[in-house]
Structure 1
Amino acid sequence: MNKLIAIAFLVLSHFALAQKTKKMTKENSNLPKSDKLVVYQIYTRLFGNLKTTNKFYGSIEENGCGKFNDINDKALSELKKFGVSHVWFTGVIEHATMTDYSNYGIPQDNPLVVKGIAGSPYAIKDYYDVDPDLAVDVKNRMKEFEALVKRSHNNGLKVLIDCVPNHVARSYHSDQKPKGVKDFGENDDKTKSFDANNNFYYIKDQMFVVPGEVNPPIVPKENYTEIPAKATGNDVFSAKPSINDWFETIKLNYGVDYLNNRKQHFEPIPSTWLKMRDILTYWAKKGVDGFRCDMAEMVPFEFWGWVIPEIKKVNPEIIFIAEIYNPQTYRQYLFQGKFDYLYDKVGLYDALRRLMEGHGNANDITKVWQNESGDFSNRMLRFLENHDEQRIASKYFANDPFRAIPAMVVSSALHTGPVMLYFGQEVGVKPTMAEGFSGEDGRTTMFDYWGVPEFQNWVNNHQYDGGRLSEQQKSLRKIYADILKFASENEAVSQGKFYDLQYVNSNGQTVNYNDQKIFSYLRFTDKQKLLFICNFDLEKSYSTGVFIPQGAWEMMKINPNGPVSYSLKEVFSKDRNSTEINQQTKSISTKEAIRLTLEPNSVTILEIR
C-alpha cells in the first residue's frame, strides 16, 4: 500500500508540475529568450598566473598574480569553443588587501582586518574601482578592465561580475567615486544604533575589538581603531566578533532594524538602496552583462524587487543571479525580488555531491525537482564547483575528478536552466596543501596569491592550448566539452520538457534497477525525445532495464497503443574511458523495458525516433 501511495504521489507531482509550468509562462515573460546559459567562473587573480613558487602566505612578487591582460583573445575564444556563453570574472572590484598601493594614491589597509595577503574579494574597499593587483599598469587599471569586457564581447561572451550588497570592507572608502557621490557612512548619524538613513549599524559607545586569534603575516604599523564599532557582515551586532565571523566586513543597512524584531523602514527609500542602485548602474554602463549577487538573501527581497527593474532600464538584457541557500525564500527572491536565476546549492549540488562521494541516493534528485525547484527549475543555476566549495578531485570531496561525469550531465541536462563551471574543474584541479589564510581545506584559495598547477598546464604560457595537459586531463576536459556541447545543441535539453522515470522503475519493479544508484529521466520536445540513464554507482555495473509508462508516452505525443515498435539510438555515452557511441539502432516495443548494460559511474543517452 505504501508503495502505491508513493507512486500515486509522484504521478500527481508530474501533473502538478505541468500545470504550474503553464501558469508560470506569463510570470517568466521578462526572462532571457534562452535559459541554457553556460557560466564559466574565472578567479581573475589566479587564472593567468604563471608563477609556480606557491609559498605559504607568499607576496604578489613571490607567488605572482594573474592580470586582466592575461585573459587574451586566445583564452576567450577557447572558452567559447568549449561551450561557454557567460564568463564570471570573480574579484574584479577593488577589495581590502595587505599589498601596499599607497604610491598610487590608494590608502593602505590595516592587516588586522584583512584575510590573506591578497585579501577577500568579498570585502569591497571601493565600489567604483577595480583591483590594482589585476592591472599591468596600475594607473590605467580601469581601462584594462574595460578592454577585457570589450575582448569578451568580441569573442561572443557575456560578462558577469560580483555584486556584494550585504557588506563592505571595514576600510571602505571610495577614492574613485564619480563627482557628487557620497560614500557609504559619510552622512551617518553615529549616535544611533539604527537609523533608516544610516548605511551602517553601530554599537554605541563601544570600540571594535579585533579577534584575538588574528595573527597576520604582515605586522601592522598601528592598531586598528573603530569607534563606535559597526556591526559585522554576517549579522553580528557586537563589538567583538569571533575569528569565525566575517570580522573584516561591515554590515550594510537596508532599512531593517534587526534588534527591533526586524522592523522594516522602506519608505521613504533608504539611502543604501539609492547608493547601491547607483553602483550597479555604474557597472551596467561599462558593458557588464550581469551580476552574481553575493549572499543575496541577507538583503531584503523588497530591495531587489525595486533595484533590478531600475538596472534593466539601463540594459533590459542584463541578468541577476542570487547566491541563496534557503529554499523557503526561493519564490520571494524570484517573483518579488525579480532575480533571473538562483543558486541550486541546497538541493541538486548537495544531492549530487553525496552520490559522487559514494554514499548518496539517486532518489534525492527526484526530491529536488519536487520540493525545491519544481515550477521554476529553468531558473536554478546548477554547479558542482565554485570558489566556496571544495574541489571535486580533492581528498575532502570525491578524490577523483572523473566521478563527476554523471553528475555533470544531470547538472547541465536535467532541465532547461543554466549551468556553471569553476575554472580548472574541467582539468581536475586538486589542492593538496595550505595556500594561505584558509589553510589546507580542499579549496583553491580565495585570499592569497597562488599558482594553480593543473590549470597552468592548460594555460601553457598564455597560449591557452592545453599543451602541457596530461592525457588524463585531456580526456577529462573533452568529456566536459562533450557534455556542454550536447546540452546546448539538443533542443530536448535546451527547450524540452522533463519526465522523471524513478517512480515506475524503483523498488524492484524493473529487474536489477537499483534506484539508489541509477537515475533515469526523459527530456523531450515535439521534434526530439531523449532518454537519460545515469549510473552513479562508483564500482558496480548493471544489466538492467528502463520502463517508460503510458503517461510518459502520451506526454511525448506517442501513442503507446499504436505501432508495435519504435527505434532507439544511442546518441551519447560517457564513462571515465569516454566510451564510443554505439551506432546501432534498435527496435523496441512500447510495452517492454529498454534493456541495457550500465558501466560504473557512467551515462547513456538514447534518442527515441
Structure 2
Amino acid sequence: MSFFRISRLSAMVAVSIGLAGCSLTPDQDKGEATVAGEHQHNKAVVYQMFTRLFGNTQTANIPWGAAEQNGVGKFNDISDKALEGIKQLGVSHVWYTGVPHHALVADYTAYGISNDDPDVIKGRAGSPYAVKDYYSVNPDLAQDPARRMDEFKALVDRSHQHGLKVLIDIVPNHVARNYESLGKPEGVKDFGATDNTNVEYARDNNFYYAVGEAFKVPEWLDGYQPLGGESHPQADGEFVENPAKWTGNGARSSQPHFHDWYETVKVNYGVRPDGSHDFPQLPAEFANMDVTAHYEFWQDKDVPDSWEKFRDIALFWTEFGIDGFRYDMAEMVPVAFWSYLNSHIKHANPDAFLLAEVYQPHLYRDYLHMGKMDYLYDKVDLYDSLKAIIQGRESTDAIASIQASKADIEHNMLHFLENHDEQRIASPDFAGEAVNALPAMVVSATLSTSPTMLYFGQDVGERGEQDAGFGKATRTTIFDYWGVPAHQRWMNGGEFDGGALTADERQLRDYYVRLMQFVQSSPALMGQYAEIHTANKHNPGYTDSTYAFLRWSDEQQLLIATNFAQVAGTEFELKLPAEQISAMALKDGRYELVDQLSGDELTLTVVKGEGQVAMALAPLQSRILELKRR
C-alpha cells in the first residue's frame, strides 16, 4: 500500500485527550504516575539500537559474510548527528543492544582475546545473548579494539550530552559456553572458575553439570552448517567441555537439540535440580515494601555465589555511567534474586531504569512488586493483540479488556511494536506495509503512562527482507554482519539526515517524529485514562476496527480515536459519557478540538453533561485531539 494515500490525510496520527489506565494513589491529585515512590512527569521513550548494525554503511549483504565483506557498525559511528536524529523521535533512553563482549567468529588474539568456536556460535557475528566477558565490550564495535572500553565510554558521555539515558543488556540466565573475562577487576573470579564439577548441583556452583558426560555439538538440522559450510579450523563438529554443562534454556542433555540455546550455559541461582530453592526466602509482605526495605533485608543474608557475581557486574556498569539495564529472560531467574540485584542497583542509583523480558502475565506482579522491576514487556497481551488487530484476526475490543486487566500496573508495562526478537512491521508476515501499523503505533504510544519503545529502522519502514545467514527474513538479523537498507538510507553516509530516503520513507519518518515528540511532551499522557470504546461500539459507523479513549490531566485533555481498517473510512457520532465529562470538569457548551498532527479542527458539544463529536476517520487514520479551553 502506498504511503501517498495516507499522507494526504495530513496526519493519521491524531493526538487525543487523556491518560491511560494509570494506577494512581490518593495523593496523586495532579494526574502524575508514580514509580518507586517518585513522580514521573514525562513519558519515557526508549530507542533500541542494535549497535553492531546501526552505523554500518556497507551494502554488500552477502549471506554469512564476514565483517570485511558486509561491514560492521562502530561506537564512533554513533555521532552527534546520529544522536540528534534519535532525539528527534522524543527519545529519553537509548538501549545499546549487544554491547557486552559476546562470543563471535573473528580473530582478536592480537588483543589477548581467545578465539571462539563456530560450533557453539549462532551466526558469524554471534548472539549478543551469549556473553563471554561481562567486564568488557564487543571488540567488533571499536575502531581500536585495544581501546574498546574508552570508545564505549565516549559514546556513553556523548549520549548524556544529548540528554539521553543509556541502557545495556544484562543476561543473568545464561552466559557463553566459553566464558572468559579479560576485563574483570582484581579479585573477581570467572563464572565456573571455582565450581565443583563432580556434582550436578551445588549452591555456590555457577553452573549445573552432566557429571561423567562430555558435551556434544547438536545434530544440525535442515541443511544447517556453521558459517554456511565455509571451511574453518574450529568448525569440526567438536567443542571441548567435560563435564557438559546444562544449556541456557535449561536443557540437561550433554548433547542439546539444535533448537536449544546450545551456544550458552545456564547459570545456577541456588535452584536445585528438583526446583526447590537453596537461598533465603523473601517474606510475602515485601511485595508492599519499597526498594530500600528490600536492600536492607539482604544485607545480612548468605546468598549463592552467582547472585554476588551479577550484583558486582551491575554495579560495575552503574559506576561506569550506565543508567539502567534491560534484563533478558528474567522469568527464568528466581524473583528473590531480582529483589537482591535491583535493590543494590537502586541503592547506588535510585533513578536506574530497570526493564525486564517476562512473558507470563500471571508472574507480572511478582516481578514488579517482589522483584522490584520498573518495567516489563507488554508483549503477550498488548503487542500480540495489536498485531492480531492489524492482521484482521481480532477486534479492537481486546484493547479495552487488556487495559482494564492491568489498571494497577499499567505504568509498568512497556509498549512496543518492534524489537530484535519480533518481525519487522513492514514484513509480509506482519503488516506488509509499515503504514498498516500506524493506528497501532498511536494506540501503543498513547494508551498508558508506560514507556514506549522504538526499534532502529522502525521509523523508516525497514522490512527485514533477506536471509543473512543464521538470521532469517522478516526479522533484522542479530547474528550476522549486515546492512539495514532503509535505515542506511536515513543514515545517508553518516549525515543522519534522511537524505537518501524514498518519499514514502521520509513521510513515515515525519509521522513518527510528530507523534513521538507529542507523546514525550504531553502532560495528559502521564495523567488519567478512560476508554469510551464500550460506550460507542454499537453506534452506526463505529466498527470493530475503531478504538477511542480519553487521556487527561489538569493541564491538558485529549480525545484519541483511531481506525485500523486499511481500506474503509468511517463516520460516526462519538459519544463521551457523563462520567468522563464530569471527570474532565467540562460544563455544557462547545469546545474546539485540534488534531495535534494534522491541525484539523473538530468540535466537542456538551449538552446536559454528555459530550458528542462528529468524527470522520479515513482508512488507517488516527486523531489525537487536544481540547482548547477558552
**TM-score, normalization: structure 2?**
0.88
Q: Is the 8 A contact 2:59 2:70 kept in 1?
A: yes
Tell me if 1:502 matches 2:533.
yes
Alpha-carbon separation, structure 1, partners of 2:103 and 2:356: 23
Alpha-carbon separation, structure 1, partners of 2:152 and 2:36: 33
> What's the offset of the Cα at 1:606?
2.3
Q: Is the 8 A contact 1:394 1:431 kept in 2?
A: yes
Alpha-carbon separation, structure 2, partners of 1:311 and 1:399: 42
Alpha-carbon separation, structure 2, partners of 1:74 and 1:488: 20
Q: 1:300 aligns with which of 326, 329, 334?
A: 334
Select the structure with the greater relative contact order (CA < 8 A; seq sep ≥ 6).
2
The 1:334–1:584 alpha-carbon spacing in structure 2 relative to 1, beyond 3 Å, is: closer
Tell me if 1:596 matches 2:615.
yes
Alpha-carbon separation, structure 1, partners of 2:33 and 2:556: 25
Q: Is the 8 A contact 1:232 1:241 kept in 2?
A: yes
Alpha-carbon separation, structure 1, partners of 2:103 and 2:23: 49
Tell me if 1:216 matches 2:205.
no
Q: Is the 8 A contact 1:86 1:160 kept in 2?
A: yes
Q: Is the 8 A contact 2:596 2:624 kept in 1?
A: yes
| Paired letter, 1:246 | W
Q: 2:541 aligns with which of 512, 516, 525?
A: 512
Alpha-carbon separation, structure 2, partners of 1:348 and 1:67: 34
Q: Which residue is equivalent to 1:382?
A: 415
Alpha-carbon separation, structure 2, partners of 1:558 and 1:26: 23
Alpha-carbon separation, structure 2, partners of 1:489 and 1:143: 34
> What's the offset of the Cα at 1:225?
1.4
Q: Which residue is equivalent to 2:245?
A: 230
Tell me if 1:607 matches 2:626.
yes
Q: Which residue is equivalent to 1:569?
A: 593
For each residue in 1:145-176, what CA deviation from the matched residue of structure 2 results, as whole angstroms up to 9, or x when unmatched?
00000100111111110011110000111121
Alignment of 1:262-341 (within 5 A): 262-266=276-280, 268-341=302-375
Tell me if 1:457 matches 2:467.
no
Alpha-carbon separation, structure 2, partners of 1:166 and 1:283: 18
Alpha-carbon separation, structure 1, partners of 2:115 and 2:611: 71
Q: Which residue is equivalent to 1:582?
A: 600
The 1:162–1:43 alpha-carbon spacing in structure 2 relative to 1, beyond 3 Å, is: same
Deviates more, 1:204-213 or 1:276-285: 204-213
Tell me if 1:544 matches 2:595.
no
Alpha-carbon separation, structure 1, partners of 2:389 and 2:135: 43
> What's the offset of the Cα at 1:588?
4.9
Q: Percent same amino acid among aligned pairs?
A: 44
Which runs of 5 or more structure 1 residues have no equivalent in the other structure?
A: 1-16, 574-579
Q: Is the 8 A contact 2:93 2:164 kept in 1?
A: yes
For each residue in 1:349-377, what CA deviation from the matched residue of structure 2 results, as whole angstroms up to 9, or x when unmatched?
11111122233210111121122x22111
The 1:20–1:37 alpha-carbon spacing in structure 2 relative to 1, beyond 3 Å, is: closer
> What's the offset of the Cα at 1:396?
1.3
Q: Is the 8 A contact 1:526 1:557 kept in 2?
A: no
The 1:357–1:210 alpha-carbon spacing in structure 2 relative to 1, beyond 3 Å, is: same
Q: 2:585 aligns with which of 551, 557, 562?
A: 557
Q: Is the 8 A contact 1:194 1:202 kept in 2?
A: yes
For each residue in 1:173-220, what CA deviation from the matched residue of structure 2 results, as whole angstroms up to 9, or x when unmatched?
112111110111011111111111000011111111211106212434
Tell me if 1:481 matches 2:513.
yes
Alignment of 1:166-177 (within 5 A): 166-177=173-184
Q: Is the 8 A contact 1:35 1:418 kept in 2?
A: no
Aligned with 2:626: secondary structure?
strand
Aligned with 1:460: secondary structure?
helix
Q: 2:190 aligns with which of 183, 207, 214?
A: 183
Deviates more, 1:25-34 or 1:220-229: 25-34
User: RMSD across aligned C-alpha pairs, in angstroms?
Assistant: 1.9
Which runs of 5 or more structure 2 residues have no equivalent in the other structure?
A: 1-20, 281-300
Alpha-carbon separation, structure 1, partners of 2:114 and 2:79: 30
| Paired letter, 2:599 | I
Alpha-carbon separation, structure 1, partners of 2:39 and 2:555: 23
Q: Which residue is equivalent to 1:3?
A: none
Q: Is the 8 A contact 1:568 1:588 kept in 2?
A: no
**TM-score, normalization: structure 1?**
0.91
Q: Is the 8 A contact 1:568 1:606 kept in 2?
A: no
> What's the offset of the Cα at 1:78?
2.0
For each residue in 1:412-453, what CA deviation from the matched residue of structure 2 results, as whole angstroms up to 9, or x when unmatched?
11111100000000000012221110333x000010000111
Deviates more, 1:446-455 or 1:481-490: 481-490
Aligned with 1:519: secondary structure?
strand
> What's the offset of the Cα at 1:591?
3.7
